[in-house]
Amino acid sequence: GRALPVALAFPVCWLLWDHGGEEWFWRLALAALQAHGPLAIKFAQWASTRPDILPPGVCAHFAALQDGVRPHGFRSTLRVLDDALGRGWEEFLR
């Protein structure tokens, strides 16, 4: 799956944590979250606001997804809505 690169790279990142491994781990982890889609991104955004239940460092890394998410094309949204609701769903909004 999409998290496989993170899982495979983690041991190396752990060994090199103080020498750039932490940065690589978080890069891979945030990219995997974005690849998993809007629900994973929204969860990480929510988690970034919860230093009462997560370590502050984790919250800080997840906070990068507050405004640093790859743009989502409107055509993709329309395609999902067409698939879910059928063509002509826009007429119900008028």
Model pLDDT for residues 24-40, shown as the tens digit of each residue: 899 999 999 988 888 89
Mean pLDDT, the chain, rounded, equals: 88
In this prediction the pTM is 0.69
> Rounded CA gap, 16 and 43, in Å?
28
88: left (phi over 0), alpha (psi -120 to 50) or beta: left
Mean pLDDT of 60-84: 86
